[in-house]
Amino acid sequence: MKLPVPSPEALALSAVLRRKIEDVISQHGGWISFARYMEMALYEPGLGYYSHGGQVVGRQGDFVTAPEISALFGQTIARSIQPFFVQSACHIMEIGAGSGRLACDILMALAQQDIIPECYDILDLSGSLKQRQQEMLAPFPQVRWIDRLPEAFTGVILGNEVLDAMPVQRVVKKEGKWHELGVRVSKDGFVFEAQPADAALLAQIALQIPDAEGLHDGYVTEVHPYACAFVRSLGDMLNAGEGGAALLIDYGYPAREYYLPERSQGTLMSYYRHHVHADPFWHVGLQDITAHVDFSAVAGAATESGMDLLCYASQAGFLLANGITERLLQISPAAVVHYLPQAKKVQMLLSPTEMGELFKVMILGNLDLPPHLVSIDRSERL
């Protein structure tokens, strides 16, 4: 594995976080869950990947999200949420707003339709990203930053690539029984070590994995209690309000595709400077650690909290249904210098070999699904 060499300053920061995690492992008898490790690696104040102030999103960061690819993405999302304003309120809350690009594109697109949200709340755990958001969104006085979910909310909640950044528990099947893959310290650094799964984890496995008993020994995968708990919190918040919907966009699969026998090493990945690799222990704090979303588990958590599953669709199907190609054609194809770059970006968003099929859109809530989205709903696949 050949990855770009971090700067001395970055390596020093990583060393501090590594020692802090080692101390936590020592305090817990020499072993912690991978979820706890992932939580510290990503969110430890001042040290974690999303907390230390480095650039993570964009061409100069480690990965590029759909809003960074083309403004047409945000403009199309703006089109998709307008029908919900009629049923609830013209309020938007975005969880994990990245650079602020999605919020900017949505607000500009809505303004062109003379729609001005009463508020656009942003909840983001990253101080450095919050600073970028504040700079980009300075022209929009309705944008507010909040530090926790409110008890009640009426309107539309947005989450683009939020669920995949939540800690997961790793599990492995050994001698016919499920074990949790946690983290200990060896002479070579952090390593995985299996321990018998406790009752709570076994219950989560039974809930998420359709044929858990039939999977072979040595099978490694993830379960997603943090993401499920987060979705239940959204349900509690919307049910305490006066009507709303949550639109979640992420990469992942329904359970019957996630836990295929041949996907025997799970979906855990790490990103550093647009390089993808499989070692979550490489220079902790300097790289993103992520896992695909189990959308069946998310849907189950939503219904448990009283929300309806309104729609589940591929990103391509969702963007096409909401008119992304019509927006593209507002740029004259004759203006090649302007049209071709945008067409290539839209192709990235729609292509089955790029983001079009791997990324899914799930709409949850207690409102009616707009009629133009009924035909693309694939909820039966969950």
Quote helix, strand, coil % in the chain, to nearest 5. 40, 25, 35
Q: Which residue has the higher pLDDT, 59 or 66?
A: 66
Confidence of residue 273 (pLDDT cuts 50, 70, 90): confident
DSSP 164: G
Whether residue 339 is contained in a domain is answered as yes
136 belongs to a structural domain = yes
Cα separation, 271 vs 289, in Å, equals 7
- Strands 293-294 and 244-253, bridge-based pairing: parallel
Host domain of residue 364: 66-165+225-258+292-381
Residue 277, domain member (yes or no):
no
pLDDT digits (tens, 9 = 90+) for 88-126: 999 999 999 999 999 999 999 999 999 999 999 999 987
Please check whether residue 72 lies inside any domain of the structure.
yes
Instruction: Report whether 223 contacts 168 (CB < 8 A).
Output: yes
Instruction: Tell me: pLDDT of 33 over 60.
Output: yes
Average pLDDT (16-38) is: 98
Summarize pLDDT for 252-266 with one digit per residue, the tens: 999 999 999 999 999
Between vectors from CA 70 to CA 112 and to CA 369, what angle results, nearest 5°?
A: 65
* Residue 214 domain flag: no
pLDDT at 52: 76
How many structural domains compose the chain?
Answer: 1
**Which of the four pLDDT bands, split at 50, 70 and 90, describes residue 274?**
confident
Query: pLDDT at position 304, please?
Result: 96
Poorest-pLDDT segment among 49-53, 233-237, 272-276 = 49-53
Cα 369 to Cα 245: distance, rounded to the nearest angstrom: 9
Residue 202: count other Cβ atoms within 10 Å of its Cβ.
16
| CATH code assigned at 360 | 3.40.50.12710
What is the pTM (predicted TM-score) of this model? Answer: 0.94
Q: Are 165 and 40 in contact (CB under 8 A)?
A: no
Model confidence over 361-379: pLDDT tens digits? 999 999 999 999 999 999 9
Tell me if 56 is assigned to some domain.
Answer: no
Q: Each residue of 195-246: pLDDT tens digit? A: 999 999 999 999 999 999 999 999 999 999 999 999 999 999 999 999 999 9
Give dist(CA 201, CA 208) in Å, integer: 10
pLDDT one-digit tens code per residue, 149-190: 999 999 999 999 999 999 999 999 999 999 999 999 999 999
What percentage of residues in the chain have a pLDDT greater than 70?
Answer: 97
Quote the mean pLDDT of the chain: 94
Indicate whether 190 belongs to any domain: no
In a domain, 181, yes or no: no
Q: 3-class secondary structure for 206-270?
A: HHHCCCHHHCCCCCEEEECHHHHHHHHHHHHHHHHCCCEEEEEEEEEECHHHHCCCCCCECCCEE
CA–CA gap between residue 4 and residue 55 (Å, rounded): 15
